[in-house]
Chains A and B, each alone.
Chain A
């Protein structure tokens, strides 16, 4: 039971890290390597709002989300739109966007270093134990898990029940055909990218309540997000969530039963197995 709950909580954290990237990659076709930096930026914003104004990180999300939305929309319009326009194929766009966002990640690290310095940023928020089924868990992790579930549910419902959501799914399946039925692919791609960025930043704000961040730690999160998105299947929010939970459970299981030193090995083993036997990911479609 311990393992199950601890694994689910960790999986929730991973879902927060990866959901935004899935939107960005699945719809806008941008493999955003600056994902982790944006997550850290969200965490820094929450840290700063919390320490300077004593505003709860949960309330800070109200500010962080729209700010990240606007910032990511600008990044897409200014930096990535030209790449989209000149790309002749999806492959070319992926290569170009990987290079561009890789560069962007360095810029973001530099900006954060200049503003916040290279020191560790951590604060205690809701670091109180809650007892579930006889074991103690950090309240901040439980809250982050609940928020992750909420965000995932909202995204899932919006994508599957609303009209713009359906349009976004259409773009994710086939941008060309989507255009034929009158969907404004350019606008929706920008929207999906900005929304993905906002989700990532909110994830960062939540994660900062229990992880210690510094300006250059973003790459760790990018790696995790990449693995989860590819495991889950590109462009499917369910896949990301399932993959995140599986990864969380597997890591906790291995850490508890076998050896904490083998968690990374377990994660990569699963990644390799999925690449070998189901390269399109758990919920992915084979691309044409």
Chain B
């Protein structure tokens, strides 16, 4: 709540300063000169808090800070500062829904930012829809985009579909095989949670269609403390490639166990959190050439500028995937609100569907299913930087390298 107070204070001082200069104007249009209240609800505690703390919250703070430093959102009636109202949903869908209701009804938020995580975004979609708020979902990866956008016309998707992520990995592995660099034996494991199950289910037929042989296929429960049976089982199946549809704590655990067991594959992929700076900081050079979900073009000056601002304002590095997309979703919202010129939610939703937005990732537009069709699907740690190696239409992908041991 401190942040909120601080923002109120800045708002108050700005208003006071503006008041001394143009008191009559303020009196005439008090409604528009008031702050734009932005509601945010996402995990600060619970299983997804670790991910949200890296990819979600810092971008919201960065965006609010930058918008207010520019003098606020430029509306038709003049600039309006942004006031952030934030809630912790404890990674509990019930809490997410309640917080959205509270933001709409009690806090009278003009806009509400999409929650964090696929499950929480889908759980909150009906209430966003019923209350008439646009929901620009970022961390919601699903194959149900068309159905969801059909049911909830104000829900937008930016990060991609399950099938696209599974296909990207299959194509990379198949590509390495076709060029004769590896064989076609794939060990596939997944975390037994909605995300991992959906990706494994989507992945199996895609891998098989690509002519890859799945020689080991196992799931493990969320929060497994000892991944050595999983990695040992994978190793015993003598794979050429290892693919894990994993979540943060086990992404770290799998890498450590792979080093200990010396799982010597030429392609090693793990999903969420592989692109986190904490992953590189922990394992250093050992994880060189590890593949992971997501990616960015880290040589793009716009990304570099964004990363520098992220570091300066929040004191931490952005990740190499959802961070920049989360920030882009806020830029999209900002551009739509400013184009409409007032906090008109229905107007903003219509504007989102019809226009192209300029973001740190480049241009983003939504198709007829409210879906951004151009996104990064796979990246790779190459000498301390996570480079995008596969995307559905983003520029700057680099060539995939072979993993050469864990030394």
Pairwise interchain contact B45-A256, C-beta atoms closer than 8 A: no
Pairwise interchain contact A119-B261, C-beta atoms closer than 8 A: no
Q: Which chain A residues (201-230) contact chain B, with CB distance < 8 Å?
A: 210-212, 214-217, 220
Residues of A within 8 A of B172 (CB): none
Pairwise interchain contact B248-A212, C-beta atoms closer than 8 A: yes
Q: How many residues of B contact A (CB 8 A)?
A: 43
A259 on the B face (CB < 8 A):
yes
Q: Whole-angstrom distance between the alpha carbons of A120 and B47 in the complex?
A: 11
Q: Whole-angstrom distance between the alpha carbons of A9 and B49 in the complex?
A: 29
Residues of A within 8 A of B105 (CB): none
Q: Which chain B residues (201-229) contact chain A, with CB distance < 8 Å?
A: 218-221, 223-226, 228-229
Residues of B within 8 A of A212 (CB): 248-249, 252-253
Q: Which chain A residues (135-149) contact chain B, with CB distance < 8 Å?
A: 135-138
Cβ of B223 to closest chain A Cβ, rounded Å: 5
Cβ of B285 to closest chain A Cβ, rounded Å: 12
Closest partner residue, chain B, to A128 (CB atom): B260
Cβ of B117 to closest chain A Cβ, rounded Å: 14
Given A117-B53, A210-B256, are A215 and B261 also a contact pair (CB < 8 Å)? Answer: no
B109 on the A face (CB < 8 A):
no
Pairwise interchain contact A263-B220, C-beta atoms closer than 8 A: yes
Given A113-B44, A215-B45, are A255 and B256 also a contact pair (CB < 8 Å)? Answer: no
B282 on the A face (CB < 8 A):
yes
A24 on the B face (CB < 8 A):
no
Given A6-B228, A127-B256, are A136 and B50 also a contact pair (CB < 8 Å)? Answer: no
26 sampled A-B residue pairs with Cβ under 8 A: A118-B43, A118-B44, A118-B50, A118-B57, A119-B316, A120-B54, A120-B273, A122-B278, A124-B284, A127-B256, A128-B260, A136-B260, A211-B249, A212-B248, A212-B249, A214-B50, A216-B45, A216-B46, A216-B49, A248-B226, A252-B226, A255-B230, A256-B233, A259-B219, A261-B218, A261-B220
Residues of A near any B CB (own CB < 8 A): 2, 6, 9-10, 13, 109, 113, 117-120, 122-124, 127-129, 135-138, 210-212, 214-217, 220, 248, 251-252, 255-256, 259-261, 263-264
Q: A2-B232, A10-B226, A118-B49 are in contact. List 7 more A-B contacts (CB 8 A).
A: A13-B226, A138-B260, A215-B49, A216-B47, A220-B223, A255-B220, A261-B221
